[in-house]
Structure 1
Amino acid sequence: MSDDNMQDALADDWAAALAAQTEASQPAAAAVFPPKGTDSSANVFKPLSGDGATVAKTDIDMILDIPVQLTAELGHTRITIKSLLQLAQGSVVELDGLAGEPMDVLINGYLIAQGEVVVVNDKFGIRLTDIITPSERIHKLNR
């Protein structure tokens, strides 16, 4: 086969491939961009099955069983390893929180509320006194 015949065959193969690609892409383009004057909202926005409350309840049910870690912080302190190794039973560690000051309640490390310590049936608990709003949480993240 001569070089001219080979180049012609290669050009024909490319032409056939481009024609096939053009044919395949035209129906997809028509679906994305319907002709003017047609109602495209019927294809894009499908009606919800059931009322909005049912859909919202189904969405929230999907996340109800996801475990999160709740942490209650009385305060912080920074000590050296030497001081840490000297701790024994009965040692007192001074925290930066003041007595009577509300404690922080964190979910997965993010502050969501503040509260006070309560004792119920010989067990400690937290009475929430202030819930952090979403806008306050975003403000604290930006600091």
Structure 2
Amino acid sequence: MSNENNNQDQQAMADEWAAALEEQTADAGFDADSLLNDVQAQSASAAQGVELDELKDDSIPVSDPKLDVILDIPVTLTMEVGGTEIAIRNLLQLSQGSVIELDRVAGEPLDVKVNGTLIAHGEVVVVNDRYGIRLTDVISPQERIRRLK
């Protein structure tokens, strides 16, 4: 019964996020369903068979058994608003209501990190009193590896 309630809660949350994304597309001045229908109608009338080369990223094997071993390992995903350095003297003087100035300008994208490694930038969104993050820029795997060196 608890698992069923959890599934219902997850479905309700997914519906709320979908509604928020739909609202975003409406705010952008177009109807996503109408646009999709137009594209499908155009592609159906002008569809021609073509043979495409298979796109492959050989750096990450799809069915590598070694990779399968790590796919279920949990990682820590964090969103960093900003940071600052302060002396311990000032840290000890902090109390409720204290304000700490961060090194980031208001409106600047947040850093999205996995286990402390920057993987993307994004902006905060709120859906039904819950925070989320919309990714605005994802760092390529090659760039992430380059930054590790």
TM-score higher than 0.5: yes
Provide structure 2 residue ranges, at least 5 long, that are not aligned to the other structure. Answer: 1-61
Match in the other structure for 1:86: 93
Q: Give the TM-score of the pair, scaled to structure 2.
A: 0.53
CA distance in 1, matches of 2:127, 2:65: 35
Superposed CA offset, 1:15-38 (max 9, x none): xxxxxxxxxxxxxxxxxxxxxxxx
Counterpart residue identity of residue 63, structure 1: I
Counterpart residue identity of residue 139, structure 2: I
Q: How does 1:1-143 map to 2 (within 5 A)?
A: 56=63, 61-142=68-149
Counterpart residue identity of residue 117, structure 2: Y
CA distance in 1, matches of 2:79, 2:135: 11
CA distance in 2, matches of 1:120, 1:133: 28
CA RMSD, 1 decimal: 1.9
Query: Which entry has the higher C-alpha Rg, 1 or 2?
Result: 1
Superposed CA offset, 1:36-81 (max 9, x none): xxxxxxxxxxxxxxxxxxx818665433321101111111100011
Counterpart residue identity of residue 94, structure 1: E
Q: Which has the higher contact order (CA 8 A, sep 6+)?
A: 2
Q: Give the TM-score of the pair, scaled to structure 1.
A: 0.55
CA distance in 1, matches of 2:146, 2:71: 27
Deviation at 1:128, TM superposition (A): 0.7
Counterpart residue identity of residue 114, structure 2: I
Q: Secondary structure at the match of 2:97?
A: coil
Percent of aligned pairs with the same residue? 65
